[in-house]
Amino acid sequence: MSWLLPQTSPAQKTGRTDESFLAGRRDSVFFLESKFFDPATATVAIISGRSLSPGREFVVDGRKGTVTLMPSVLRDEIPDSGWVGFEVSYIPAPFRFKDQYRLPVAEALEGQRSSVAAPSRTAARRENVGDWFGTGLQRNGSIMRGVTIGSNRDAALTSGFRLQLAGPLAEDVNVVAALTDENSPIQPEGTTQSLREVDKVAIDVSGRTYAVTLGDFVYSRDREAGGMFGVIERKFQGARAVMHFDALPAHAWKSEVGVVGASSGGRYHTNRFQGSEGNQGPYRLTGRYGEPRIVIIAGSERVTVNGERMTRGEIQDYVIDYGSGEITFTSRRLITAAARIVADFEYADRQYARNVVGASVSSSSPDNRVMVRGSILQESDDDNSPLEVNLDAAARDILRRSGADRLSASLSGVQYAGIDSVSGFGRGQYIRIDSVISGRVVSILRFAPGDSLALFSAAFSPVDAVPADSAGYNRIKTGEYQFAGLGKGSYMPIRFIPLPQQQRFINTEVKVQLLKGLALSAEVAGSLNDRNRLSTLDDGSSQGSASVIGITYADPDAVLGRASLGALKASYVQRTIEAEFIAPDRINDAEFERRWDLPAIRASQEVLREARVSLSPLPDIQSSATYGRVERTGDVTSDKAGIDASFDDSSSFRLAGGAERIRRTLTVSDLRSEWLRRHGNASVLSAWGRPGTRVMHEERRERLGSGGVLIAGSFRYLEIAPRIESAGSDKLTWSAEVQMRTEDSTSSGALRRAFNALTQLYEGQWTASDALSSSLSLSFRSTSFSQEFRQRGNADQRTMLVRSQTRLSPLRRGLETDIFYEFSNQRSSRLERVFARVAQGTGNYAYRGDLNGNGIADEDEFAPVRFDGDHIVLIVPGETLIPVNDVKASLRLRCAGSKFDLPLWMRSLSTETYLRVEERSTDSDASNIYALRLSGFLKQSSTLTGSQVATQDVHVNEYDPDLSMRLRVQEKRGLTQFLQNPERTYGNERSIRIRAKLGAELANQTDVAVRRDRLLSDGSNPRERDLTLQSLQSDFTYRIERQWEAGWSVGAGTAGNAHPAARGSADMNDQSVRIVYGIPGSGQLRAEIRREEVVHAAVRNGSLAQSPQFEMTEGRVAGKSWMWQVNTDLRMTDLIQVTVSYLGRKEGEGKIVHTARAEARAVF
């Protein structure tokens, strides 16, 4: 069972609530946040896909607040080992009810007689579980414990827990708790604005003078609470407590003391990178040492573009894959070469347990004229608790001798594997070749598994830079690396021993109100960074300090002589940061280095001095002037001066503008630059909209010394952007903006025209009624380079981003139409299958052993299995990203004849058409992709991944329980470029389903289907097939009496494989008998026995095959198989449910296998 991931959307403005959830093949029921609502208002849609049909594909229970997906959706829309996102939209009731209400039981006072007869024992009031928590608490949740045992597996325990509490626990003690533990390693998907994590524990207990948090929490201190250097926002797991002292007896000062003790699941890091023209992503995040494919702590990221904070979500600015550390921007946020992207995040390095302890204190005088606060924080790796590191005595000795040098703290990743005495092949995967490069003998590894000279195994580690005298390698795919050259590449054949580190931080801040309007503040901070706790070498630790002093004067009614100046504010700040000082979090804003024209890395002491004066003669008029200077000792000096002014009458007219000049000098190289920036913005509100214009101009001239020749890094651009947006209608909102940009760059010592760019941005959202809603987002950008800059390798770019979604359900929902279209320019790579080991019975693949003796677990050595799988397959992207055009489009059209005034036979008909196209292509002509020219789709020369689905259903008496029929025609085509080899798939289904009630107690469902299943590939691929399958399945249900039900089914089918490498056929039949007993008010008991038979004859690669292909028989083995199972679901009380199941099976000539599972669930 999955739990919802709530998502706030614009639909809530119309009273609707949108929620989203992830569903796997085994999920069916999902709980919504609200109960007691009209199910008719609910719609369910696949995220970025079609809408589902109510009643046929999902059922909503408005009383319980649940959504149930039908088996057809789970089977057709969700891959075997994957997840699919669904979105639910509904109108919640404006009030809430409790699940149960009870009348109070009258009780006689002691010593008095009652004329009311005492209730019988059978009517005695049952104990309410809510009383366990207290009568004032609101609670909701469940607890589950399960055990699975089998004759071919070890016992396995499963658990799940979910509890929400809110309310008073005792007098002056309030609690808010959210505890979830689903025993799952899956992180939430980064496609929604809000996240609901699978495993989370958070308990907040508060009173008048204290607050305590236990479990998972975000430790956040902004500048107002932590000062300039003590800012922090991190995700911890542990405990936090705050004590408030309203008045100290001695001086009546208001004080607060806080402590925190926790463990940190991730390491804080920042990535900065420039956007790429025509590329929405993915942009890959890396660790502090350049590690790729890092796992991001869910919800820890903060992403800014050009200094503006981005919002996560498919309908917002970006989505993130936490598992691979990839950020992709949506069509709402156009990324260009001028985009400056900064991402702060925490990532899991899984090296050492990382502990955090800290304390904070603040105190202010009764009149708030004096405030003192301070904090201390320590983050340290526990070298006695390594997680995925083998830290033996030898490794510790290496760490002691390595200091802070990461390369010194490493071991060779090359190991001698020897020769297999039976096969004569090397047991390793690499051949070691000694070669002379630049007069030096260098040992080079060449990947050649199965070769007689492959005597070595090698483990490679990513590095941020390969030393110039060392051999570097590039990753080709999992387990395969290729020599790149000396000092080149991103990997080396070494194994790093992680350095256990420790960071300590302390700061103190004082604020004093000297006079009315005059305030003084000062802060000092220190840090100690031990880069290797096990080393005593001098370079193993560094300490630094920082300080800031500021003075502010504010007068809301300043006067000069007899003239009123209005509101005046003046401030001066001086800040000093030593080179070795490290703060817990970001000190400066994301655009600090650009605003001051500074290098991104601070390598020396930095001193900043800045003065600012602002004046507001009228409430609608604001103006300010700034001047500042930044000095990095022996490195760089930068001076900045600027002015800003604005007028905003808060109703109709807005005007703003400003300019600043930065002069920067690099001390060592005498490299000087002068940067001039200007900006302006104006808009006016009218009855039909708000038109406006934005102007931006920047010119940066960089010279060497006092010479007049400009060098690389100089540029100039002018951007003019007229804009208009709607005036604020509830049903229709829209905006349009055109950006015209010209940019000059350095050529022959002067600035010359580099390119012209035209960008068009359009957005609109229309909600005409419950029957019609539509949204559209369009972004067009064309960049044309001059002839001179084309000769330098630049190419003209055309970028288009489109996202459109329309829902139309007129004529009392007699006609339902859902149209979705999305196009973007991204980067992608070939995909790779990676097999991961899981607990036996939870996977769908089994490893058959090293069949070819090359020492590598190759793909063809994993076989799909029906039961007892111990591996799953993961689809991961390759290393090399290339530009692609990505399109997703779908159309769903449903027509219900019962909603129209038609003849009776036509009213019994209903149809549903579903078309879906997805393509990720490298076609140089993007119009072939966004215009949906299908002739250019699924081409092996250009398609990386693509799929096409067409489904046509015709229903007769769709909801009639007496007799109904469904006719289906479905066709699927696909192409995926895997690193191993491309795979082209084709599927076709023609089926008829008939449901009939043959009497008052007898019903039948019969399915007849003819299917094609084809997979073709280049080279040798055990998955290749060309199957034709025919099947007949008929299931009878007989209601013996009210509590008893019997059923039996018979099925038969044939399958033929026409692929030249695996020709064969299989005849199949199956029979089953079941009986169900309904226990009144308590549950049911079900028993079933099933017989399966497969007669198989196939030749594979010229020899007789021992077993049929998995897809041919859907995993059934050759011969006769028997399965028997007993299941029971018992409701012990209103709040406790027990499920027990047993499955026995004997497949073909195999042994009898027994599996039993018991699970108990209590609901609060």
The model's pLDDT over 268-324, given as tens digits with 9 standing for 90+, comes to 999 998 998 888 989 999 988 888 888 898 888 999 999 899 999 888 899 998 888
Q: What is the pLDDT of residue 195?
A: 55
Q: Could you give the C-alpha distances from 575 to 503, 524, 547, 572, 641, in angstroms and in order? A: 22, 10, 6, 10, 17
Confidence of residue 540 (pLDDT cuts 50, 70, 90): low
What is the pLDDT, as a whole number, of residue 829? 82
pLDDT at 14: 47
Q: Could you write out the DSSP letters of every residue in 692-719?
A: EEEEEEEEEEEEETT-S-B-TT-EEEEE
**Structure confidence at residue 1098 (pLDDT):** 62
| pLDDT at residue 194 is higher than 60 | no
User: Is the pLDDT at 131 greater than 60, yes or no?
Assistant: no
Q: What is the mean pLDDT of residues 34-58?
A: 78
Distances (CA, A) of 526 to 80, 226, 257, 846: 54, 14, 20, 55
Contact assessment for residue 1054 and residue 1063, using Cβ atoms and an 8 Å cutoff: no
pLDDT value at residue 145: 76
Of 94-108, 215-229, 750-764, which one has max mean pLDDT? 750-764
Give the Cα-Cα-Cα angle 1116, 1118, 1123 (nearest 5 degrees): 50
Question: In 3-state terms, what secondary structure has residue 879?
Answer: coil
257 alpha-carbon distance from chain centroid: 36
Q: What is the pLDDT of residues 417-468, one digit of tens each?
A: 888 777 777 888 899 998 887 777 888 999 988 788 888 999 999 988 899 8
> Token pair for residue 541?
């630790």
Tell me which residue of 181, 246, 176, 177 sits closest to 209, measured CA to CA.
246
**Where residue 106 falls among pLDDT bands split at 50, 70, 90?**
very low
- pLDDT for res 712: 87
CA 277, CA 743: separation in Å to the nearest integer? 14
pLDDT number for residue 657: 95
| Vertex 681: Cα angle to 679 and 683 (nearest 5) | 175
**Percentage of the chain lying above the pLDDT 70 cut:** 89
pLDDT for 12 equals 38
Summarize pLDDT for 892-912 with one digit per residue, the tens: 999 988 888 888 888 889 999
Within 10 angstroms of residue 919's Cβ, the number of other Cβ atoms is 29
Q: Would you state the pLDDT for residue 856? A: 76
Q: How far is CA 1024 from the centre of its chain?
A: 33
What pLDDT, on a 0 to 100 scale, did the predictor assign at position 445? 92
Split at pLDDT 50, 70, 90, the class of 66 is confident
Does 247 have pLDDT greater than 60? no
Name 264's bridge partners: 236, 354
Asked if residue 609 lies in contact with residue 626, where contact means CB atoms within 8 angstroms, the answer is no
Say which range, 68-77, 460-469, 996-1005, has the weakest mean pLDDT: 68-77
Residue 928, classed as helix, strand or coil, is helix
Average pLDDT over residues 688-710: 89
Residues 6+ apart with CB under 8 A from 718: 695, 696, 697, 741, 742
Distance CA 190, CA 559 (A): 54
Low-confidence winner among 142-156, 356-370, 774-788 (lowest mean pLDDT) = 142-156
588: Cβ–Cβ under 8 A, 6 or more apart, which residues? none
pLDDT > 50? residue 105: no
Question: For residue 757, with 0-12 CB atoms within 10 Å meaning exposed, 13-18 middle and 19 or more buried, which class applies?
Answer: buried
pLDDT at position 197 is 52
What is the spatial distance between Cα 195 and Cα 182, in angstroms, rounded to a whole number? 15
- Confirm if 20 and 32 have CB atoms less than 8 A apart: no
C-alpha–C-alpha distance, residues 990 and 763, integer Å: 42
CA distance 918 to 26: 25
Best CATH choice for the domain 633-827 from the list 3.40.50.2020, 3.40.50.720, 2.40.170.20, 3.30.1540.20 = 2.40.170.20
CA distance 298 to 1147: 43
CA distance 1101 to 724: 67
Query: What 3-state class would DSSP assign to 1007?
Result: strand
pLDDT confidence tier of residue 520, bands split at 50, 70 and 90: very high
Query: Does the structure show a pLDDT above 80 at 371?
Result: yes
How confident is residue 863, by pLDDT bands cut at 50, 70 and 90? confident
Task: Tell whether the model's pLDDT for residue 8 goes beyond 50.
Answer: no
* Mean local confidence (pLDDT), 512-532: 92
Give 728-737 pLDDT, tens digit per residue. 677 888 999 9
| 3-state class (DSSP) for residue 436 | strand
In a 3-state reduction of DSSP, which class is residue 11? Answer: helix
Categorize the per-residue pLDDT at 91 as very low, low, confident or very high, splitting at 50, 70 and 90: confident
State the DSSP H helix or E strand holding residue 626, giving kind and residue range, or none if neither.
Answer: strand 621-632
pTM of the model: 0.77
- pLDDT above 80 for 995: yes
* Integer CA distances (angstroms), 1123 to 261, 866, 1116, 1153, in order: 54, 13, 12, 10
One-letter amino acid at 825 equals N
**What is the tens place of the pLDDT at every residue in 167-184?**
787 777 888 777 776 655
How large is the average pLDDT for residues 597-618?
91
Checking if the pLDDT of 987 tops 90, the result is yes
pLDDT surpassing 50 at residue 123:
no
pLDDT of residue 1035: 94
pLDDT, one tens digit per residue, over 466-501 is 998 889 999 888 888 999 989 899 899 999 999 999
Mean pLDDT for all residues in the chain: 84
Is pLDDT of 64 > 80?
no
| pLDDT classification of 969: cutoffs 50, 70, 90 | very high
| Span of 109-118, 947-956, 981-990 with lowest mean pLDDT | 109-118
Q: Distance between CA 374 and CA 1058 in Å, rounded?
A: 77
Label residue 540 exposed, middle or buried (CB < 10 Å: 0-12, 13-18, 19+): buried
